[in-house]
Amino acid sequence: MDNDKCPTCEREFQGLQDYPLIYVAKFERVEIPTDLVLPFYDAAIFVGPNSDAVNKRPPQEVLEFFKKNEREKGYVHNGWKWSLKGKWDIGNYHREQPDQRPIVVAKLNPYLETLDSLVGKEVEKSQLLPNFEREGYFRYAFNIPDTAYQLMFYEQEKTPVGLRIAELKLMGEGPNLGSAGGPTIQALAKIGHLEYEGRIRK
């Protein structure tokens, strides 16, 4: 039986996510480059307690800080840098995280450890793919929880012995191409190298 084609419709399988079963021959982790900064600017607008808007309010600690420090431009609370436009009670608040790298690493480590443990085993595809929510627009990408970043497998050429290769990439927001293609995501770093055999049934 040809393991590179669907036995029902004879569609050619393109990669990892086409197969119901995966034999994991090899997995190598790759560290995220130390100089890679992963910022996140939250587009949500928070408002002061006396605002007529229905937007969410910032944490009470943030409100108290700007109430007592009218000239301050920013305040860090629970890992977020907050800024205020306008008066503390009716103005607009924005938040950002200058570098989400520690969060990204913490969220990825359990999954990468799982991949390490699967080497030499045949597993269902669902056991191999991350248990993260899929990105709504880019269906082959998985959102890393509590961050602005994604995971995606990139298929490469086969090895000399016929194993498929999929590189695990850390993805981030790319340029918006507008009418020429809309939003995009782009690879920021390679974080894993997977060699596998796609299988149809046990």
Q: Model confidence over 45-103: pLDDT tens digits?
A: 999 999 999 999 999 999 999 999 998 989 999 989 999 999 999 999 999 999 999 99
Domain boundary among 82, 97, 112: 97
Total structural domains within the chain? 2
For residue 115, the number of C-alpha atoms closer than 13 Å in the C-beta half-sphere is 22
Same domain, 104 and 168: yes
Q: Where are the alpha helices (DSSP H) in 71-135?
A: 101-117, 125-128
What CA–CA distance (Å, rounded) separates 188 from 163? 25
Same domain, 84 and 104: no
> Which pTM was predicted?
0.79
Q: Where are the alpha helices (DSSP H) in the chain?
A: 60-68, 101-117, 125-128
Any domain includes 63: yes
Residue 77 is predicted with a pLDDT of 95
Any domain includes 160: yes
Percent of the chain exceeding pLDDT 90 equals 72
**Beta-carbon count within 10 A of 91 CB:** 16
Same domain, 169 and 135: yes
Same domain, 32 and 109: yes
**Structural domain boundaries, residue 92:** 40-97
Query: Facing residues of 131 across strands?
Result: none
Any domain includes 120: yes
Same domain, 112 and 184: yes
For 70, the token pair is 């009218």
Any domain includes 2: no
Domain boundary among 73, 97, 121: 97
